[in-house]
Structure 1
Amino acid sequence: MATGMLSDPGARKGLLLVSPPFLFALVMLAIPLGAVVLLSFWSRQGFTLDTTFTLANYQEAVGHPLYRLLLGRSLLVSGLVTLVTVLLAYPIAYFVSFKVDPSRKALWLLLITIPFWTSYLIRVVLWKVILGYNGVINSALMWVGVIDEPLQAINYNMGAVVITLAHSYAPFAILPIFVALEKIDRSFLEASLDLGENKFMTFIRVTLPLSMTGIVASVLIVFIPTVGDFVTPELLGGPGGKLMANMIQSMFLGINKPTLGAALAVISMVSVGVVSLIFVLLCSRWLGGRQ
């Protein structure tokens, strides 16, 4: 069968087109991921690695209460970031798709991507300035007389981390939802209105279910990478705001425990995968029930 496929000019052309991205993904993703998984089953003896198979890293990672706390906190923060980001992204995507003139949609999409024109680190530092003790928000509130002294509760906590991450990942959530909304046949909405439904119920029964693919994509695109973000918690989370990604970073670059760090990374990836799979299955069941 393989020989027959290779003899087909169309199959050879398709294989030629697929091979470069496949090799790129293999080298840049599969091999490093495999190395991390392999490292998690090794141990470190001084400055050398013991390649003897062991589960000691996973036993320590699962048994230590600090690591369980960090994992739970990471999933909670990522979930909050995802919820805030998608709730804010959907109205924007809806407005661009349904309210903006088609000739100006490209301009609006360009404006949405403006945050990507600067470094991610610069955007985080700017939020640190905005939310800081003497930052923009505190200065403005003091200027109008709302407060007498700067608020300390808006910086160096999980709220600041959620706000910063939601802003940083907003375009990732807006664009998939916009694409899903653009694919909706407007005649479905007109038919719903003609059958007596109001605009709100038309949105609930027609627009929202038909745009669920974009919502699911946005949730996954935001949730998965925010679990591994360590820059924002480091700069804005404060002493008690560290997440699992910060611990993994310190394992590799600080306290020289790469094998334990690899085990924590694998556990985090598996946890994120399980949560994402559950979410996708629940959405599929909900859409199936509606159909």
Structure 2
Amino acid sequence: MSAPRIDTEARQGLTMVSPPLIYAVLVLAAPLATILAYSFFRDGYLEVIHEFTFENYRAVLSDPVFHKILLRSLWVALAVTAATVLLAFPVAYFLSFVVPPERKALWIFLITIPFWTSYLIRVFLWKVILGHNGVINATLTGIGVIDEPLSFLLFNVQAMVITLAHAYAPFAILPIYVALEKIDRSLLEAGRDLGESRMMTFWRVTLPLAMPGVIAASLIVFIPTIGDYVTPELIGGGKIPMIANMVQKQMLALDNRPLGSAVAVTAMLIVAILSVLFLLLNRRFLRVRS
């Protein structure tokens, strides 16, 4: 009698899951499949020739410009991820261990306030802050610290890292906070009862148990950052392109959809491989810690 019951529960589960699954396939899988198909076509004059070829991938993998832009994108994404997680962990730790339970909801509400405004507006605000006549230069000039506006605040990689780290900070704080909230406080008390200092208790107990949240935060920040288009265009002034800018140029400016699709697919594969390697390395780290 248990087998029919399991089959019934499975059918009910599939019935509940099928609408969002169909939606995900239509919204996510269909565009990805289209891009993948285009990457194997040939580009003709003002048209796409539906002829199977690997020429686009050979062109991408042998292009030194692609290598340079990919390395830059990876470096920027890693720098943003490191900066965001390092800044988010103390905030999440403070929220989990210091803030009284009755005030945590208020703090989470305050952390999510940046989501109320458009991402594009937040990037524009950083351009206003770091610009030649922006807030920082105007303040420093007004109080007499500098005579002329600083020219190195904007249109460089450092400005892009600052902007992206600010934009994705809430995405890093929340998963780390959730992981810290799941830690059994009795484990920390046991560590201190055994003579461990607060620092060693944090290193041996808190940090390993919080690693799932750190991993989730790292992936949540790393994956969208490497494909960001707006920040390199506005904060980088269009002079420091990343992968998304290269895809946009091939797709729209040069109207070479097959090559642009090949660039996009290659970048997605590289990001997927790096993400899997990161998860495997951290799983090994967790196993060693345990």
The answer to whether TM tops 0.5 is yes
Kindly provide the amino acid, as one letter, of the partner of residue 65 in structure 2: L
Task: Give per-residue Cα distances to partners, 1:104-123, cap 9 Å, x unaligned.
Answer: 10110010010010011100
Tell me how far apart the structure 1 counterparts of residues 137 and 6 of structure 2 sit (CA, whole Å).
70
Tell me if the contact between 1:61 and 1:260 (Cα under 8 Å) persists in the aligned partners.
yes
Kindly provide the amino acid, as one letter, of the partner of residue 71 in structure 1: L
Task: Give per-residue Cα distances to partners, 1:252-279, cap 9 Å, x unaligned.
Answer: 1111011100000011001111111111
Cα pair distance change 1:7/1:223, threshold 3 Å: closer
1:276 counterpart = 2:278: no
* Aligned match of 1:119: 118
1:249 counterpart = 2:245: no
RMSD between aligned residues: 1.3
* Aligned match of 1:156: 155
1:60 counterpart = 2:56: no
* Aligned match of 1:34: 33
Tell me if the contact between 1:44 and 1:259 (Cα under 8 Å) persists in the aligned partners.
yes
Cα pair distance change 1:15/1:58, threshold 3 Å: same
Q: How does 1:212-251 map to 2 (within 5 A)?
A: 212-251=211-250
Kindly provide the amino acid, as one letter, of the partner of residue 201 in structure 1: M
Tell me how far apart the structure 1 counterparts of residues 49 and 240 of structure 2 sit (CA, whole Å).
33
* Aligned match of 1:97: 96
Deviation at 1:24, TM superposition (A): 1.0
* Aligned match of 1:178: 177
Which is worse superposed, 143-152 or 266-275? 143-152
Deviation at 1:287, TM superposition (A): 1.0
Kindly provide the amino acid, as one letter, of the partner of residue 152 in structure 1: S
1:12 counterpart = 2:23: no
Residue aligned with 1:166, SS: helix
Q: Percent identity?
A: 56
Task: Give per-residue Cα distances to partners, 1:142-178, cap 9 Å, x unaligned.
Answer: 2232222111111011111111111111111000000
Tell me how far apart the structure 1 counterparts of residues 167 and 189 of structure 2 sit (CA, whole Å).
36
Residue aligned with 2:43, SS: strand
Tell me if the contact between 2:232 and 2:238 (Cα under 8 Å) persists in the aligned partners.
no
Tell me how far apart the structure 1 counterparts of residues 6 and 87 of structure 2 sit (CA, whole Å).
52
* Aligned match of 1:108: 107
* Aligned match of 2:74: 75
Q: Structure 1: 5+ residue runs without aligned partners? A: none
Residue aligned with 1:8, SS: helix
Tell me if the contact between 1:5 and 1:11 (Cα under 8 Å) persists in the aligned partners.
no
Task: Give per-residue Cα distances to partners, 1:22-60, cap 9 Å, x unaligned.
Answer: 111111111111111110000111122111111111111
Task: Give per-residue Cα distances to partners, 1:122-154, cap 9 Å, x unaligned.
Answer: 000000000001111111222232222111111
Cα pair distance change 1:184/1:251, threshold 3 Å: same
Cα pair distance change 1:268/1:112, threshold 3 Å: same
* Aligned match of 1:210: 209
Task: Give per-residue Cα distances to partners, 1:175-195, cap 9 Å, x unaligned.
Answer: 000000000000000000110
Cα pair distance change 1:130/1:5, threshold 3 Å: farther
Tell me how far apart the structure 1 counterparts of residues 53 and 110 of structure 2 sit (CA, whole Å).
51
Task: Give per-residue Cα distances to partners, 1:201-242, cap 9 Å, x unaligned.
Answer: 111110000000000000000000111111010001135311
Deviation at 1:20, TM superposition (A): 1.0
* Aligned match of 2:24: 25
Tell me how far apart the structure 2 counterparts of residues 265 and 176 of structure 1 sit (CA, whole Å).
28
Cα pair distance change 1:230/1:194, threshold 3 Å: same
Runs of 4+ in 1 over 4 A off after TM superposition: 4-7
Kindly provide the amino acid, as one letter, of the partner of residue 67 in structure 1: F
Q: How many residues align?
A: 288
Deviation at 1:14, TM superposition (A): 0.8
Tell me if the contact between 2:76 and 2:157 (Cα under 8 Å) persists in the aligned partners.
yes
Tell me how far apart the structure 1 counterparts of residues 198 and 64 of structure 2 sit (CA, whole Å).
50
1:137 counterpart = 2:144: no
